[in-house]
Structure 1
Amino acid sequence: MKKHDQDFMKRQNRLTVFEIIKHQQPISRAAIAKQTGMSPTTVSRIVGELTEEGYLLETEQVSAGLGRKSTLLAMVDAAVLSVGVELDRHQIKIGIVDIQGNVVAGDTYPRSADESAEVTLKRIGAEIDRLTKSNQIDCARLIGIGIGLPGIVDNDTGVVIFSVQLGWKNVRLAERLKEITGYDVAIDNELKVKALAEHMKGAAIGSNRTALLGFGNGVGSALIVDGEIYRGKTNSAGEIGHTTIDPNGMMCDCGKAGCLQTFININSLLSEANKIRPVRSIEELFEARRAGERWAVYLVERALMYMAITINNVVCMYNPDSVILSGELADKFPEIYEEVVELCFTRFVWEPLRGTFAIMRSELNEQGVVIGSGLMSQNCFFALE
């Protein structure tokens, strides 16, 4: 075996042991060896390294049957912190995330839709600095930054290939933000990191095949298969918002006509609403619907119908056991959940697939992308160490 292959296996073994302890703590060295098939010597070496570096602690001893007592291992939650960032058209969310995915400090900052990449990245750097200082965060424990954003992302090189919502193309985000902050930076599509968060500590725990759908400023999806995010060849799997529904339909921000998201996303809904009367926010549109204004009822119910159609199409393509509804529309207006579920099972879900999957709300809601981004950064750190 070549040296680089040996180094890769060592890194993978280290990450595997770390993840087992994180999710199954407290746990013994013997139990880890049994699960992984690694030798007790290898497990002890990795545990020793992680303990020496301050990531693990040994807890009380317990009796394992009639044999020797085993020392149990647990994580030191604050030993490692990372920065999770959600970058969207109109706002930036930043959170400091611990090993268990808890946000120990965070804030939200407005962003103008036409703000350049350089201005945005400098602002992120400045706000991270302010956030850590105001919350007395020990920066020696910060191991990196993770960013989730809408669009096509090369997660290996840290380049934003194309983001309609941000108006960015070929932005070397990870490289530039590292220059600004000094921290290693990992980036990915926002729904993929949110799916990671839901899988690790949210609605997708225990699921073998989960489809996460995002309805908000855009429309997209992410698929988790056996604990891994399905990416496709160019990490663009799941971009269902730009599937064509009506070639003679409304123009999408991407330059095509009749994309699925033009029937659902917030910008399109507000654009249609403003043909009737001035509507400044999605909240105003839903208020008009609750007041029984026919045009508002039509726009919202049409959007809900297309959400149900989207669920049917995704279920037909991927046959998941769970579907998670997420995004700004689902988070801000939880009442639409019941309506979408009813539409799915009374009108749109293909008969043979009814009863084969559950439709769930996101458990992490508006924190999902920040948590997932922070955990992504930690995964990169422990894989490379």
Structure 2
Amino acid sequence: MKKHDQDVMKRHNRRTVFELIKKHHPLSRADIAKRTGMSPTTVSRIAFELMEQGYLSESDQAAASTGLGRKSTLIGLVNTAVLSVGIELDRHRASIGILDLQGSVLCTCKLARQAEESPEETISRISAAIEELVQRNAVDRTRIIGIGIGLPGIINNDKGDVVFSVQLGWKNVRLAERLTELTGIRTAVDNELKAKALAEHLKGAAVGSRRTAILGLGSGVGSALILEGEVYRGGMNSAGEIGHITVDPGGMMCECGKAGCLQTFINIRSLLSEAGKVRRVHKIEEIFAAREAGERWAVHLIERALTYMAIAINNLVCMYNPDSVILCGELPDKFPEIYGEIEALCSSHIVWEPLRGSFRIHRSELSEWGVVIGSGLLSQNRFFQL
């Protein structure tokens, strides 16, 4: 039992040192010891082990002189020591990227997907696309330690199963198991906004925030919450499915099978469906163009959607009291002018008065590659935990 406890402590210390260097590198051994509270001997041993494994290196640059007139060598991360594949899977596409240890995207590709594709067909095509991306960019495949996939829906992130995804029409799909079989690379799966939340916390708009809510607005409506640096998941990893909160029991039918879900007033598919009652439209851009031209039906449709977006923010703020709310997704990415309109609605009358001014609304800093980055970092985290 004592040996087991010692092994656990060693692994914990190694991960603490590694994560500290990853976040703040380069650092001297003395600085690491000071920040972690570990002895200089322990820090030196861990640093040596991690350098032997190729994750860290000593730089020629020297740290500031000590009181004894000596200079200490700085330790930094070897960014390409390991690589990972990050994937965002949605109704009509898969976006794929290969990331280094810092979460920088080295190369990418996009794969068009038909809504009626079977899970097996989609998974096989993703496997082939990964291999093509590796070959085309001469990536050292032996350095790829994992694949991470973010997609909309309820995900069993421990097993990597898609429990239910309305947007994809998938139910009980063993995604991680099947992609691992095809590629030979360990695969992790999570809800796409939880993956993006991880990316925003580590590299984007949520850096330094203690309580951040992320609201995704596009083909669906969802949210994720970061509390003290950790993604809040709930009992079934389904926390944040705000799009399926019932706001009007007599409202429009949602593709989930219920009537009056919040997302039926906001998401692109519902907006196109409602617009189709007036005239035939194929793209969301046509509705915004009609609004710009002053067509009454389009003005009403978009302003109603913006109001419900502000209502979604109010609900998140009332439930979780975040210090930051990050807006992301296809709608704010394509139409950045809606940020100001949503903020105005929140500050004027939508958000409960005692909570106005208690949070800030941010744009995602990672735009369309946020889920890819978060998914790739998720697979790296799994690898280093193991």
The TM-score with structure 1 as length reference comes to: 0.97
Deviation at 1:6, TM superposition (A): 4.4
- In the alignment, which residue of structure 1 is the partner of 2:40? 40
Distance, in Å, in 1 between the alignment partners of 2:7 and 2:237 is 26
Deviation at 1:13, TM superposition (A): 2.6
- In the alignment, which residue of structure 2 is the partner of 1:57? 57
Deviation at 1:49, TM superposition (A): 2.0
Deviation at 1:38, TM superposition (A): 2.8
Alignment of 1:190-205 (within 5 A): 190-205=192-207
1:95 touches 1:370 (CA, 8 Å); kept in 2? yes
Distance, in Å, in 2 between the alignment partners of 1:318 and 1:328 is 24
Distance, in Å, in 1 between the alignment partners of 2:66 and 2:300 is 65
RMSD of the alignment, in Å?
Answer: 1.3
Alignment of 1:36-185 (within 5 A): 36-59=36-59, 60-67=61-68, 68-185=70-187
Distance, in Å, in 2 between the alignment partners of 1:277 and 1:7 is 67
Q: Matched residue of 1:162: which SS? A: strand
- In the alignment, which residue of structure 2 is the partner of 1:340? 342
1:154 touches 1:188 (CA, 8 Å); kept in 2? yes
- In the alignment, which residue of structure 2 is the partner of 1:16? 16
Q: Matched residue of 1:246: which SS? A: coil
Alignment of 1:256-275 (within 5 A): 256-275=258-277
Deviations 1:43-97 (A, max 9, x none): 2222222211211111122234304422211111122111000000111000011
- In the alignment, which residue of structure 1 is the partner of 2:333? 331
Deviation at 1:110, TM superposition (A): 0.9
Equivalent of 2:292, from 290, 306, 323?
Answer: 290
Deviation at 1:340, TM superposition (A): 0.4
Alignment of 1:361-380 (within 5 A): 361-380=363-382
Equivalent of 1:349, from 351, 354, 373?
Answer: 351
Residue 297 of structure 1 aligns to which amino acid in structure 2?
Answer: V
Using a 3 Å threshold, how does the CA distance of structure 1 residues 260 and 6 change in structure 2: closer, same or farther? farther
Distance, in Å, in 1 between the alignment partners of 2:5 and 2:296 is 64
Q: Matched residue of 1:78: which SS? A: coil
Residue 61 of structure 1 aligns to which amino acid in structure 2?
Answer: A
Distance, in Å, in 1 between the alignment partners of 2:4 and 2:157 is 22
Distance, in Å, in 2 between the alignment partners of 1:235 and 1:49 is 35
Distance, in Å, in 2 between the alignment partners of 1:69 and 1:266 is 59
Distance, in Å, in 2 between the alignment partners of 1:29 and 1:183 is 34
Residue 135 of structure 1 aligns to which amino acid in structure 2?
Answer: N
Deviations 1:116-157 (A, max 9, x none): 111111111100000111111111211110000000111111
Distance, in Å, in 2 between the alignment partners of 1:355 and 1:162 is 37
Q: Matched residue of 1:342: which SS? A: helix
- In the alignment, which residue of structure 2 is the partner of 1:243? 245
Using a 3 Å threshold, how does the CA distance of structure 1 residues 263 and 3 change in structure 2: closer, same or farther? farther
Q: Matched residue of 2:371: which SS? A: helix
Using a 3 Å threshold, how does the CA distance of structure 1 residues 129 and 210 change in structure 2: closer, same or farther? same
Please say which of residues 212-221 and 55-64 is displaced more in the overlay. 55-64
Q: Matched residue of 1:280: which SS? A: coil
Residue 66 of structure 1 aligns to which amino acid in structure 2?
Answer: G
Deviations 1:291-341 (A, max 9, x none): 221111111111000000110110011011100000111111101100000
Q: Matched residue of 2:80: which SS? A: helix
Q: Matched residue of 1:147: which SS? A: strand
Residue 232 of structure 1 aligns to which amino acid in structure 2?
Answer: G
1:270 touches 1:281 (CA, 8 Å); kept in 2? yes
Deviations 1:131-187 (A, max 9, x none): 111111111211110000000111111111111111111111111100000001011
Distance, in Å, in 2 between the alignment partners of 1:9 and 1:174 is 30
Please say which of residues 53-62 and 10-19 is displaced more in the overlay. 10-19
- In the alignment, which residue of structure 2 is the partner of 1:299? 301
Deviation at 1:102, TM superposition (A): 1.1
Residue 48 of structure 1 aligns to which amino acid in structure 2?
Answer: F
Q: Matched residue of 1:58: which SS? A: strand
- In the alignment, which residue of structure 2 is the partner of 1:26? 26
Deviation at 1:2, TM superposition (A): 5.7
Residue 252 of structure 2 aligns to which amino acid in structure 1?
Answer: M
1:219 touches 1:240 (CA, 8 Å); kept in 2? yes
Equivalent of 2:322, from 296, 320, 323?
Answer: 320
Please say which of residues 35-44 and 94-103 is displaced more in the overlay. 35-44
After TM superposition, where is structure 1 displaced by more than 6 Å over at least 4 residues in a row? none
Residue 52 of structure 2 aligns to which amino acid in structure 1?
Answer: E
Structure 2: segments with no counterpart, 5+ residues:
none
1:161 touches 1:169 (CA, 8 Å); kept in 2? yes
Identity within the alignment, %: 69
1:148 touches 1:190 (CA, 8 Å); kept in 2? yes
Distance, in Å, in 2 between the alignment partners of 1:6 and 1:257 is 55
The TM-score with structure 2 as length reference comes to: 0.97
Using a 3 Å threshold, how does the CA distance of structure 1 residues 3 and 218 change in structure 2: closer, same or farther? farther
Distance, in Å, in 2 between the alignment partners of 1:379 and 1:49 is 19
Q: Matched residue of 2:110: which SS? A: strand
2:28 touches 2:63 (CA, 8 Å); kept in 1? no
